[in-house]
Amino acid sequence: MAHYSPPTQSKVSQLIDVVVLVALTVGALFVPLWLGMAGSSKSVAAPVENPTWETLGQNATQAAQYEALGYTPASAHDLILARFDYSFTTGALLLMVAVIVLYYVLMLRFSEIEYREVISEKFGEK
Partner 1 sequence: MAEVDITSKTMDGMGPHGTKVGLLRVLGPAHVWALGVGIVLVGEYMGWNFAVGKGGAYAALIACWFAGILYTCVAMIDSEVTSTVAAAGGQYTQAKHIVGPLMAFNVGLYLVFAYTMLEAANAITAGYLFSVVATMSGYEGTLDQRPFIILVIMFLAWLNYRGVLATLTFNLVITAIAFVAILVLFVSTSGLVGAGIMQHAALMEGAASLPYGWIGVLAAMHFGLWYYLGIEGTTQAAEEVRSPARALPFGTLAGIMTLLIAATLTWYICSGVLPWEFLGDGVNGSVAPLFDTARLSGSNGLIWLLGFGTLFATLASANGCINDASRAWFAMGRDKYLPGWFGAVHPKYRTPYRAIIFLVPIALIFALGAPLDQVITFSILSGLLEYTFMPLNIIMFRKKWPLNTIKRGYEHPFHPLPAIVLLSLCGITFFAVFLGYGTQLVAMIGFYIVVSLWFHFWRYRFVNRGAQFTMPWPKPQGY
Q: How far is the CB of 49 from partner 1 (least distance, A)?
A: 19
Contact between residue 51 and residue 74 where contact means Cβ atoms under 8 Å apart: yes
Q: What gap in Å lies between CA 20 and CA 107, rounded to an integer?
A: 20
25 binds partner 1 (CB under 8 A): yes
3-state secondary structure of 1: coil
HEC sequence for 59-104: CHHHHHHHHHCCCCHHHHHHHHHCECCCCCCHHHHHHHHHHHHHHH
Q: How far is the CB of 102 from partner 1 (least distance, A)?
A: 7
Q: In residues, how long is the chain?
A: 126
31 binds partner 1 (CB under 8 A): yes
Residue list 50-69, contact with partner 1 (CB under 8 A): 57-62, 65-66, 68-69
45 binds partner 1 (CB under 8 A): no
19 binds partner 1 (CB under 8 A): no
Residue list 82-121, contact with partner 1 (CB under 8 A): 82-84, 86, 88, 92-93, 95-96, 99-100, 102-104, 106-108, 110-121
14 binds partner 1 (CB under 8 A): yes
Q: How far is the CB of 12 from partner 1 (least distance, A)?
A: 11
Q: How far is the CB of 91 from partner 1 (least distance, A)?
A: 12
CB neighbours of residue 85 within 10 Å: 10
Q: What gap in Å lies between CA 121 and CA 1, rounded to an integer?
A: 6
